[in-house]
Amino acid sequence: MKGKVINIVKKSFLIIFNFIIFTNVNAENTKILIDSAFNCYMNKDYESTIKIYTNLYNQNYSSADLFYNLGNCYIETKDIANAIYFYEKALILSPNDEDILYNLKIANARIKDKVEVLPEIFYISWFKQLMSLMSSDSWAISAIISLIITLLLVFLFLFSNKSKIKKLCFYISILTLLITILTIIFSAKSAKNTINNKFAIIFESTMVKSSPNEEGSNLFEINEGLKVEIKDSINSWYEIKLSDGKDGWIHSENCKKL
């Protein structure tokens, strides 16, 4: 029995050791590729930079910086659709980054379609603006901090002998509890939007149809770089909606989901 326990412990340590080595090797390889991409970019070799970053992306490496740098490379090579695609992906991970927002604005100014955005109900707009101040992870960290503060205040309330302190702790703990609930909602909503992203970027000019087939009537044309919302899908067709309220069907091969 003792021998079996020792063997299990040895195997566990071996698994942990191999995992640490594997993680360190991957981290080192990633750093080498990122440094190589940076050198290529500084030398204005944008095609090589794109290949290196795409290689990282295909290895499931994901970060706002990676997507932002890819967007910069594509805008230098005049590939506006890919530039907007990766700026939008960077914005999902870092929703309040001024550099990403600025470059995305420049890229959007270069597309053919100029679509007006329908005004939203004010409280929905406020909610979205507030939620965009931080990423899902940042909201989650804020929720944890707020919860810890709430628990500390409750502890002080229960064990303090001074009525003024008890009263102060009571009211502040209610406030921090509300903040905790709100930050949890923001974190969950932001994570849901990231995982179940319903938007796509158009990569090929196409005619929007009235139905999900080639026999449908032509409604209007959309061009590369336009961001659309995917409302539904049937076979190889997406039902899309533009920011001005127009909708219709396009073939899925003409766009790429974020």
DSSP 47-90: HHHHHHHHHHHHTT---HHHHHHHHHHHHHTT-HHHHHHHHHHH
Residue 52 structural domain: 2-108
Count: domains in the chain: 3
Over residues 140-144, the mean pLDDT reads 91
| 246 burial via Cβ count (<10 Å: 0-12, 13-18, 19+) | middle
User: What is the rounded distance in angstroms from the CA atom of residue 164 to the CA atom of residue 231?
Assistant: 55
- Mean pLDDT (whole number) for 193-218: 87
Shared domain for 27 and 6, answered yes or no, is: yes
Whether residue 59 is found in the same domain as residue 14: yes
Answer whether residue 197 shows pLDDT above 70: yes
Cβ atoms of residues 89 and 67 within 8 Å: yes
Q: Is residue 205 part of a domain?
A: yes
The last residue of one of the domains, among 47, 79, 108, is: 108
Are 189 and 240 members of one domain?
A: no
Same domain, 67 and 148: no
Interval 216-228: pLDDT, tens: 899 999 999 999 9
- Same domain (yes/no): 6, 104: yes
Q: What six digits make up the tokens of 161?
A: 């002998």
- Looking at the fold, whether 89 and 130 belong to one and the same domain comes out as no
Stretch 48-60: mean pLDDT, rounded? 88
Q: What is the mean pLDDT of residues 92-109?
A: 90
Q: What are the pLDDT digits (tens) for 110-131?
A: 998 887 776 667 667 777 777 7
Q: Are residues 13 and 66 in the same domain?
A: yes
CATH assignment of the domain containing 240: 2.30.30.40
| Statement to judge: residues 74 and 170 lie in one domain | no
Report if residue 233 sits inside a domain: yes
- pLDDT attached to residue 27: 56
The more confidently predicted of residues 201 and 135 is 201
Task: Give the pLDDT band (50/70/90) at residue 38.
Answer: confident
Quickly state the pLDDT bin for 5 (edges 50, 70, 90). Answer: very low
Domain identity same for 139 and 235: no
- Shared-domain flag, residues 71 and 157: no
The CATH number given to whatever domain includes residue 7 is 1.25.40.10
| Residue 93 lies inside a defined structural domain of this protein | yes
Residue 113 lies in a domain: no
Supply the pLDDT for residue 258. 86
Query: At residue 208, does pLDDT exceed 80?
Result: yes
Q: Identify whether residues 6 and 94 lie together within a single domain.
A: yes
CB atoms within 10 A of CB 207: 17
What is the pLDDT, as a whole number, of residue 62?
A: 80
Please return the burial class of 194, using the count of CB atoms within 10 Å of its CB with bins 0-12, 13-18 and 19+: middle
Average model confidence (pLDDT) for the chain? Answer: 83
In a domain, 40, yes or no: yes
Does 166 map to a domain?
yes
Q: What is the pLDDT of residue 28?
A: 63
Indicate the residue among 108, 138, 160 that finishes a domain: 108
Is the pLDDT score of 148 beyond 90?
A: yes
Cα(63)–Cα(123) distance, integer angstroms: 31
**Residue-level pLDDT at 8:** 44
Q: Does some domain include residue 39? A: yes
Same domain, 89 and 10: yes
